[in-house]
Amino acid sequence: MDNPRPNSKKTLEVNKVRLCDCKKSSYYFLQGRALGIYDNELNCGDCLGQISYSKLSIDIEIENWQRHHGKTYLNYLESDFFEEKALKELKNHDKGILNKEGQKVRRQLATYLKKPVYYMYFATDESPDSLCPICKTKGKLTGHGRPYKICKKCDSAFGAGE
């Protein structure tokens, strides 16, 4: 008798907004807004479900930053004139204003949620072999297809598995 085909691991990363309903999340992922490509922006590290912003303190500047990120991303996608500049900004991981702003939001979230929050840096070449964008080490597996790994030293999340 034939073995049944195993379920694909990819089912968790469908690009649909699904809210986290875990009682407690052990950690989180923060990602800049990418306008419909990936709808999820703050996700539970356990189930990958989205965390509703209504659960956050209004002092956390996540929505401002998401707007800024979304506009930059749109420039990258749609504007020949701004494309290069936008890509440079998105990929300026440690010194760019956009990512510095994102890192500030990440710190605010970690303090508020009292759990680790890992920042997903923008990348155009994600693979299982991706290294931490900041310290260039291999990182630790998350158990998810994307983000595939985290670096606890830099609070970064990166890579994509098969």
Q: How far is the CB of 45 from Zn ion (least distance, A)?
A: 8
Q: For residue 69, what are its two tokens? A: 């990120």
Please tell me whether residue 47 binds Zn ion under the rule CB under 5 A.
yes
Of 49, 70, 96, 116, the residue at the interface with Zn ion (CB under 5 A) is: 49
Of 134, 142, 155, 159, the residue at the interface with Zn ion (CB under 5 A) is: 134
Count of residues for the chain? 162
Please tell me whether residue 131 binds Zn ion under the rule CB under 5 A.
no
Please tell me whether residue 132 binds Zn ion under the rule CB under 5 A.
yes
**Percent helix / strand / coil, the chain, rounded to 5:** 35, 15, 55
Crossing angle, helix 80-91 and helix 62-78, to 10 degrees?
A: 130
Crossing angle, helix 97-113 and helix 62-78, to 10 degrees?
A: 150
Please tell me whether residue 17 binds Zn ion under the rule CB under 5 A.
no
Site for Zn ion, rule CB under 5 A? 20, 22, 44, 46-47, 49, 132, 134-135, 151, 153-154
